[in-house]
Structures are given as C-alpha cells and as structure tokens.
Amino acid sequence: MSERVAIVGAGLAGSLLGCYLARRGLSVTLYERRPDPRLGQPERGRSINLAISERGLDALRRIGLVDQVMADALPMKGRMIHPVEGPLDFQQYSASGDRAINSISRGALNNALLDAASALDGVEVLFEHRLLELDSQAGKMIFETPAGKVEAHADVVLGADGAGSAVRGQLLVEGAVGEQVDFLDYGYKELSIPAVDGEFALDPGALHIWPRGTSMMIALPNPDRSFTCTLFWPAGSFDALSNKDSIEAHFREHYPDLLPLAPSLVDDYLYNPVGVLGTVHTQPWQAHGRTALIGDAAHAIVPFYGQGANCAFEDVVELDRCLADTGGSWARALPLFEHRRRENTEAIAEMALANFVEMRDKVASPVFRLGKRVEHT
C-alpha cells in the first residue's frame, strides 16, 4: 500500500488512527485546527477527564500504550450517590467488586497519543490547520492556517474531526451523505472540587453522582487529587442563576455537600461555558471508497454511558481490521467498516440516552440497587 492518507482532526480518534495506520506502513498526515496541545493550557471547562473502560483500553493495549495511559488512571469501582439529605450510598459496578472504569485525563491521553503518532515513521502532524473545504472525489482539501489558506491532496481522507465535523459538513454539501443531529434539551457546565491539604475531598474510588430528577451532577477524580464535576441541566436553566447569592443559594438547597468543597464554585459557574449535547446520525459514513468519517464525526452520542471515546477507539481497531481483511483495499475496507460498526454505534447511542434517565433518577431508588450494572457510569 502506498496511499497518502490525510486524517482531519488529531483528537482522540485521529491521533490513535494515525498510530494504527502508520504501523501498516502508510504515509499519514494529521491536520489539527488547534495549536499543539502539548505546548499550552487546556481549554477552560471542557470535559477534563473521561471514563475509559475495557473497550478503550483494548485499543491502547494493541499498540503498547495501555501501561503508560493507565499509570495515572484512577479506577472507579462503583457509583457514590449523594442524596440531598442523608448518608452517601456506594453502589459497586460488579458483584465481585473487582471491575472498574478508569478516570483518565483527556488532555494527557490526547498528548500520549500525539507523542506516539509523531514518533512513528511516516506520520506528520500539522497543527493550526483548520479544514475549510473538501472535494471528496478528488481528495483535495483547503485548510486555514496562520500563514493563510493552504491546499493539500491525499488518496484517502478520514474525518476524525469530532461532533461538529467539517468533513461531514463538506460531504453533506456534496450530497454524498445525509445527517440528522438530535440535540438534547440539556446543557452541561464543569465545576471543580480542589484537593484539601493535598488529599482528595471525596472518595477517589467512585464516580460521584448527585441525582436530582430532572437534572444531575457527576464528579470524576483527577491525578492532582481534585475532582471535576459536570452539571447537567435543562437548557436555559443555567442563565437563571446570574450572581453569587443566587448561585450559592441554589447549591445550598440542592447540592448542600458540594458547597463547602468547591471554593471556586461561583467563578466556575459564571465563567465556564455551557456545552451542548446531542446525537449525530450519519448515513453513509463513506464516499467513493476514499473518504470516510470515524468517531464522533460519524456518530457522536450523549455522554451518559461514558462510551463516546471508547467507541471511537473501537472504530479505529475495526477499521484497521477491515484493512487487514481486504488486503489494504480502502474501496472495500471503508464500506465493510461501516457495515461492521453501524449496529453497535446505534445501540450505544440509544443506551446512552436511556442511561441519562437512569443516572439522574433511578440510581436514587432503593429498588434499582438490586439490579447488576457492569462497565458503565
């Protein structure tokens, strides 16, 4: 195989895909719109940590990265439910208590993948390259860069550019794919709980949940002994609290145990952005046997099963397997990839929506505790 492959997006899926394709001897260029994240600070309030489960670890293990990534991971063996009043309630994920999902820094994971990709022969990573235009039949791309517009060509173009994918947008304009984006009527905002005297303020062996019926908050531990909380509220509700007094009063009433643990609550609340949530359905995922979508670009899901990145990693493993099974024929591998993955990605999209109801409501019910839940948030 001597094709030149362009991967648009060097996030989680793109940088992992770069590693897999380079190991097949392909010449790969990764185009990323952001500056090199290894040189700067992470964006404020944007999903700092991720729950990575066995599905994601499998993809890392196959390229020898799992030990490095797991070195800083914090295993969470169950959920810790925080009621408005009364004692905390720990619910193990597995009956034996030995199974866990892992809290991993999104930035550190992305940086490890970028390091691994950049170290491989045949991989070039170009930052500050934002895809503006694509001719999917000709493999021609136009990028916006600090030096102006740049034209590039590739035999194969893979869109790993996330939920708002520009590659998908271009394929849509060409009439090569159709999309449906179902926005959830909820937004999310990140808050933080710092370490107290160098120690975790909450049990780091659990994923913490504050189920509140129509809304909920979760918190995952970070290696620096802080926790990142994600508050999921109906869209529009965030604006109702606009000053220190109203924010503190609200949290005192609904999340009383958080208030003393979150000294920067008011600042976090006022200055961290509200993220949108939705499910992306695309059909087909590929065009002309030489351009395809992968990860969130093809099938973004809501985050309530903690499986979006895990699923994007599984995509990479499956695409690699399809290339192996077709003798490296992209024209046959890309449709085969879609055929093998679509049913699974549609299933997790539905399960993720269903798990929102479970997490914000049912986990607080005593009856629910009789059910067994494995490998999800």
Nearest to 226 by CA among 377, 74, 90: 74
For the bound state, the minimum distance from the C-beta of residue 54 to ligand FAD, rounded and expressed in Å, comes to: 12
| Residue 303 interacting with ligand FAD (CB under 6 A) | yes
Give the per-residue contact string, 181-200, with ligand FAD (x = CB under 6 A; - = no).
-------x------------
Q: Are 212 and 360 in contact (CB under 8 A)?
A: yes
State yes or no: residue 170 binds ligand FAD (CB under 6 A).
Answer: no
342-371 positions binding ligand FAD, by CB under 6 A: none
Alpha-carbon distance 168 to 144, whole Å? 17
Least distance to ligand FAD from the beta carbon of 327, Å? 27
308-325 vs 330-360: helix crossing angle, rounded to 10: 160
Task: Please give the Cα distance from 180 to 260 (Å, whole number).
Answer: 43
Subset of 108-137 contacting ligand FAD (CB under 6 A): 130-131
Give me 201's structure tokens.
Answer: 């303020």
Indicate which single residue of 31, 127, 233, 337 sits in contact with ligand FAD (rule: CB under 6 A): 31
In the complex, the smallest distance separating the C-beta of residue 198 from ligand FAD, rounded to whole angstroms, is 26
Q: Distance from CA of residue 137 to its chain's centroid?
A: 29
Q: Residues 50, 156, 217, 349: which binds ligand FAD (CB under 6 A)? A: 50
Indicate whether 160 belongs to the interface with ligand FAD (CB under 6 A). Answer: yes
Binding status of residue 107 toward ligand FAD by CB under 6 A: no
* Residue 207 within binding range of ligand FAD, rule CB under 6 A: no
Q: Which CB sits closer to ligand FAD, 143 or 251?
A: 143
162 makes contact with ligand FAD (CB under 6 A): yes
Strand pairing class (101-105; 178-193): unpaired
Task: List the helix and strand counts (H, then E) for the chain.
Answer: 10, 19
Q: What's the CA gap between 103 and 222, in Å, rounded? A: 7
DSSP state of 321: H
CA distances from 184 to 75, 169, 188, 294 (A): 29, 20, 11, 22
**3-state SS class at 119:** coil
Stretch that binds ligand FAD, among 29-37, 207-215, 316-324, 331-339 (CB under 6 A): 29-37
Residue 10 makes contact with ligand FAD by CB under 6 A: yes
Q: How far is the CB of 82 from ligand FAD (least distance, A)?
A: 19
3-state secondary structure (DSSP) of residue 348: helix
Return the structure tokens found at 326.
């077709």
Which is closer to ligand FAD, CB of 65 or CB of 131? Answer: 131
Residue among 309, 316, 349, 363 that touches ligand FAD (CB under 6 A): 309
Q: Applying CB under 6 A, which part among 70-78, 82-90, 111-119, 158-166 lies near ligand FAD?
A: 158-166
Cβ–Cβ < 8 Å for 268, 288: no
Rule CB under 6 A: which residues touch ligand FAD? 8-14, 31-34, 47, 50-51, 130-131, 160-162, 166, 188, 230, 275, 295-297, 303, 306-310, 312
